[in-house]
A and B are shown apart, each in its own frame.
Chain A
Amino acid sequence: AQSVAQPEDQVNVAEGNPLTVKCTYSVSGNPYLFWYVQYPNRGLQFLLKYITGDNLVKGSYGFEAEFNKSQTSFHLKKPSALVSDSALYFCAVRDPGGYNKLIFGAGTRLAVHP
């Protein structure tokens, strides 16, 4: 079965420091991977996707993600965190047999401290 794991419930980082939010996946075939961010009482905002090509994907708001096929990982990164980055982050994979169905991880809460 296809699945996504986000091993950390919460990540704490100081403003200005680099951040990493981890994601691993299990899916048959080539994965279509996504990162979304959710602010309180809001829907999900698309950050970036990996379909094929370069393993380092750049997205919105200075975020990037590194695809690693051998480790089946797709970690979200940012060189310098902002307090405004504090939110809930979701990694997702498209179900290979399910058209646009997304399978989400449990989410990681990012807290950036001043």
Chain B
Amino acid sequence: GIQVEQSPPDLILQEGANSTLRCNFSDSVNNLQWFHQNPWGQLINLFYIPSGTKQNGRLSATTVATERYSLLYISSSQTTDSGVYFCAVMGGVSNYQLIWGAGTKLIIKP
């Protein structure tokens, strides 16, 4: 099945810094989502982005489907950005189930 790898696994930044999180996947996909799990455990949809670029405030994402990767950009980080960021994809034989990366744990220090 599809393999999903996220990097880096951990990231510690000062408030105001910018960051780039990466998601690599091993096969073609028809669905790719980025989620943020906050310190209280809630999973929040950030982007549905099987291809192309989207922006939402300080966050943006780009998926290059032909090269099998997606990037999540966070600019001017705030402490509320802390948490774990997950990439999840669907495609190939797993066309009904999201396949999850292990996540990037982001800590923003004040």
Same assembly: no
